[in-house]
């Protein structure tokens, strides 16, 4: 979880401006949008999918979770804050988001 928090917080610095620019370009250029999804977005979703899958395999997470939905629930709020800049995209936010989602994913016996 700490790595995810650090990754979210890193978007408050220069890389956040770059990512906003890339997303803006993807909105106006359909070919770039495809490349953005296939290269940038897909690689991040894949990495998170592997982390969640390993958690299921180790019995740390419930086996019946919808992994794709969980990925959306993690990245959705991050993108929303990044693109709208209405609230901080900081470590506190990352920690709160991580705890909220992790609390729902933990396997109950």
Q: What is the rounded CA–CA span in Å between residue 11 and residue 21?
A: 12
Which CATH entry fits the domain spanning 2-105: 2.40.50.140, 1.20.1560.10, 1.10.357.10, 3.90.1150.10? 1.10.357.10
pLDDT for the residue 62: 87
pLDDT at 16: 81
**Per-residue tens of pLDDT for the chain, all 109 residues:** 455 555 565 566 667 888 889 999 999 999 999 999 999 999 989 999 998 899 899 988 888 889 999 999 999 999 999 888 899 888 899 889 988 888 878 766 6
Q: Where are the domains of the chain?
A: 2-105
Neighbours of 6 (CB within 10 A): 11
């Amino acid at each position: 979880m700490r790595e995810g928090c650090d990754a979210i917080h890193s978007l408050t610095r220069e890389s956040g401006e770059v990512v906003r620019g890339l997303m803006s370009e993807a909105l106006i250029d359909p070919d770039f949008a495809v490349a953005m999804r296939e290269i940038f977005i897909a690689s991040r979703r894949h990495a998170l999918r592997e982390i969640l899958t390993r958690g299921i395999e180790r019995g740390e997470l419930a086996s019946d979770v919808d992994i794709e939905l969980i990925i959306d629930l993690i990245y959705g709020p991050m993108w929303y804050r990044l693109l709208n800049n209405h609230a901080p995209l900081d470590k506190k936010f990352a920690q709160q988001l991580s705890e909220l989602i992790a609390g729902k994913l933990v396997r109950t016996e």
